[in-house]
Amino acid sequence: MAESSNELMDKLVALCKRRGFIFQSSEIYGGIGGFWDYGPLGVELKRNLKAAWWEDVVRRRDDMVGLDCSIIMNPKVWEASGHVGGFSDPMVDCKDCKARFRTDKVAMVSFAKGDNVLLATAVEADDDNEALAAALAGANSKTRRRIENAGDDLARTVTFLNKMPEDQSGACPKCGGQLTEPREFNLMFQTYVGALQDSSSVAYLRPETAQGIFTNYRSVLDTSRMKLPFGIAQIGKAFRNEINPRNYTFRSREFEQMEIEFFCHPDEADTWYAYWRDARFQWYVDHGLKSAKLRLRTHEEDELAHYARACADVEYAFPFGVSELEGIANRTDFDLRQHQQHAGRDMTYFDDDAWERDKDAFSADKFDGDKKAAKEAAKEAKATKPYRFIPYVIEPSGGVDRAALAFLCEAYTEDEAPDEKGVMRKRVVMALHPRLAPIKAAVFPLVKKDGMPQIAREIHGALKAAGLASFYDEKGAVGRRYRRQDEAGTPFCITVDGQTLDDRTVTVRDRDSLVQQRIASDQVVPYVQDGIKG
């Protein structure tokens, strides 16, 4: 099982490199851990993914607006948000080989039969099962045989370093050397703004896009005439100096987020939380994550951050394990309250509609004609709930790179298709949702003569003019050309053949069903437009 998952990941990584989806950053210099580049196909996939998200959560709605904030912000933002003090992982370093580990990822594993310890070792792992598998994988073949033959009375114990009694120190999972005591390690990348490089000029690359939205909430409210409930969306780069970047692009040091902060009345927060949780889950289903690998996991009470009232993760079963694609949280009024306090700016919202509805209750006749008393009562009422309050925030926060990786994993398919001689051959197809596919249509002349290339180029030009990513290919047997497009995830291949010369029809081959149908060549553009609709 583990082997086949690794195999699938290896095949996907190889395809992504071979076909130009994803490259290692600065590969010619040996790369750099946790940084990735998107090639010609990858960049189109990512742009399509972001465009689909933007279209669905901003442009098609009346209650959402967008924002594009700077990556470097006033460092006080990160004090208010808690990132300067709290955005850190306890780490241990190996005194010998200098490797650094997250304390909660180092496990001490032992296999013992009675008093006889067969294997005791330290490994890096996410959970008990992974730790046991890693310890076994690291054992020599003799020890492994003894463990495998030991039967039911074998005791297997796994203790993670962060759960060990304080007086115990662990051994390095890499070299067996001695580890330091756990130390806090802030995940924010630090830099300096301006010519002076001292503590007064320290700034950070943002570790999330969310804070740019919170700090602009007032300006958006004042300039856009939005009324509660409404949301602000942003797509942008975020940076975290992850201790252990791993699992391909899944945990990177530079990545993109697509985040929504949806502001609402506190009394409506539970309803909006449920709405966004379900809507965001469905979005992934609608874009191709249809298998049981996609799931929604509600956080237990004891998992919630101190300020959060509810949280759910959209998770995907990647070949390397089940992990989070997006989190949807009810963050209460925590962030706006923090910024109100730290920046000294008013973050409250006045609900005009509620006041208009209730204001008659504060007219003078309700106060025995005492205008002054009525005015004072109105003033007092207007300063508090339900008329003035700090909005609650529902935050659906997703990663572009993680979503792209999940779509790539789900899309990778091996099946069989007939070649040009009708012989069934294994084919690799990236069954990406047409809306996300990097290339929407490929256009081929069956042969390079009889005017077929000219007609094919005309169709290719028409597709491009309509804003559809099209690829023209006249090289090699048509079967090979299909295969190349299958690997790129192109949903439609259009072939100009002998019949085209007679009746101006072309064949359209569907990537997934392999069905070919003839349509008029002037219908190719609307056909493809219709096929990629979200």
Binding site for ligand GAP (CB under 6 A): 208, 210, 240, 242, 251-252, 255, 257, 259, 324-327, 397-399, 401-402
Please say whether the dihedral angle defined by the alpha carbons of residues 116, 122, 124 and 126, taken in this order, is positive or negative: positive
* Cβ nearer to ligand GAP, comparing 308 with 428: 308
Instruction: Specify whether the CB–CB gap between 486 and 511 falls below 8 A.
Output: yes
Q: How far is the CB of 238 from ligand GAP (least distance, A)?
A: 7
CB of 133 to ligand GAP, least distance (A): 24
Shortest reach from residue 251's CB to ligand GAP, in Å: 4
**Minimum CB distance to ligand GAP smaller for 304 or for 354:** 304
For the chain, the C-alpha Rg in angstroms (whole number) is 29
Nearest to 269 by CA among 228, 226, 314: 228
Structure tokens at 434: 């047409």
- Kindly write down the DSSP assignment for every residue of 129-198, as one continuous string: HHHHHHHHHHS-HHHHHHHHHSGGGEEEEEEEGGGS-TT--PBPTTT--BBPPPEEEE-S-EEE-SS--S
Q: Measure the CA–CA gap between 170 and 108, rounded to whole angstroms.
A: 7
Separation CA 94–CA 38 (nearest Å):
34
Listed residue (331, 257, 327) closest to 82, CA to CA: 331
Nearer to ligand GAP, 236 or 491 (CB): 236
Q: How far is the CB of 32 from ligand GAP (least distance, A)?
A: 15
Residue with smaller CB distance to ligand GAP, 401 or 487:
401
Closest contact distance (angstroms) between CB of 53 and ligand GAP is: 12
Residue 246 pairs in a beta bridge with 251
Pair type for strands 388-389 and 349-350: antiparallel
In this complex, which beta carbon is closest to ligand GAP, that of residue 327 or of residue 438?
327
44/50 Cα distance (integer angstroms): 10
Residues 6+ apart with CB under 8 A from 131: 107, 109, 123, 125, 158, 160
Query: 153: exposed, middle or buried (C-beta count within 10 Å: 0-12, 13-18, 19+)?
Result: exposed
To ligand GAP, the closest distance from the beta carbon of 194 in angstroms equals 28
Angle of helix 2-19 versus helix 400-411 axis, rounded to 10? 110
Tell me how far, at minimum, the Cβ of 321 lies from ligand GAP, in Å: 15
For helices 210-224 and 334-343, the axis angle rounded to 10 degrees is 80
Which residue lies nearer to ligand GAP by CB, 172 or 269?
A: 269
Closer of 256 and 351 to ligand GAP (Cβ) = 256
> Least distance from C-beta 249 to ligand GAP, angstroms?
7
Q: Provide DSSP, 491-504.
A: SEEEEE-HHHHHH-
Between 239 and 492, name the residue whose CB sits nearer to ligand GAP.
239
396 prior amide bond cis, ω within 30: no
Closest CB to ligand GAP among 257 and 500? 257
To the nearest whole angstrom, how small is the minimum distance from the Cβ of residue 502 to ligand GAP? Answer: 53
Nearer to ligand GAP by C-beta: 173 or 399? 399
The enclosing H or E element of 529 equals helix 524-531
The residue of the chain with the least Cβ separation from ligand GAP equals: 399
**How many beta carbons lie within 10 A of that of residue 339, not counting itself?**
22
- Answer yes or no: are the C-beta atoms of 438 and 409 closer than 8 Å: no
Q: CB 258 → ligand GAP: shortest distance, Å?
A: 9
What are residue 167's phi and psi, to 5 degrees?
-80, 0
Q: Which is nearer to ligand GAP, 204 or 471 (CB)?
A: 204
Min dist CB 323 to ligand GAP, Å, is 9
**Minimum distance between the CB of residue 463 and ligand GAP, rounded to whole angstroms?**
33
Q: How many CA atoms lie within 13 A of 479 on its CB side?
A: 12
Q: Write the single-letter amino acid at 62.
A: D
Q: Which is nearer to ligand GAP, 242 or 268 (CB)?
A: 242
Token pair belonging to 417? 């298709």
Structure tokens at 87: 């955005």
